[in-house]
A = this chain, B = another copy of it.
Amino acid sequence: MSERDTERSVSQTVRAQLALRDMILSGRLRPGERISELQAVDITGVSRTPVRLALVRLEDEGLLQAIPSGGFMVKAFTERDILDSIELRGTLEGLAARFAAERGVSARSLEPLKECLADLDQLVRQDPISVEAFSAYVTMNARFHAILNELSASAPLIREIDRVSALPFASPSAFVMAQSALPEAHQILLLGQDHHRIVVDAIENREGARAEAVMREHSRLAARNLRLAVRNRTHLELMPALALLKSSAE
């Protein structure tokens, strides 16, 4: 039904954007491959005008790269690019946390964040964590990060964080599912949750430097997950984002 709704109500541009993004992330369009407008028309079934807009949007989303002579190609990323993007997100989220801490947040507006924290606590408490719980964790984790960013009350900053997190391998939840297959899974989850706890505490006590530092460190868990998961090589299918890696690592 929601499928139907999507097909009917959403604009052709958005539909094309979703279809193309899916093709890229699933690896059916390989990094470096040129993607012509007509090809995109074939894929998406809409005409060139919305396809063109979709391509432009995917370009500034960072998934495509403009070719000087015209047209677009699928962007390729190195492992270093991915790690830098994660560090970048951590830096921005750190700034958001610092803003929240330094500028002060009312007890009332801190409430949703604390509720979210409690929900996450509930989830990580199970010892062998079920796949469903992992999935719920991903959702709730994204929510936690979103609320935290909002607390910065800085529109320009939130905009940039959203932008950076749109890269499939830079989002706070990018490698959580991959992590679920690791033996260290539970321990990493507990570490992450402790970071969450600390940042809430730091904001409450207006400790800007502490809030910033812990969010930076928090993002490095994603980097650690990435390295572990790539090394183990099993469950690469849990990380669709890796389809964008330059061939060497594939």
Contact = CB atoms under 8 A, between A and B. Distances in A.
A194 to B, nearest CB: 24
Interface stretch (A85-93, A171-179, A196-204): A85-93
Task: Tell me how many chains of this kind the complex includes.
Answer: 2
Interface stretch (A28-36, A131-139, A152-160): A152-160
Interface residues on A, range: 20 to 34
Contacts of A85: 156
Given A49-B49, A57-B56, A92-B91, A84 B154 contact: yes
Contact of A95 (B52, B91, B155): B91
A151 interface: no
A53 interface: yes
Nearest to A80: B154
Contacts of A164: 160
Interface in A64-88: 80-81, 84-85, 87-88
A69 to B, nearest CB: 12
Interface string A153-190: 01111011001100100000000000000000000000
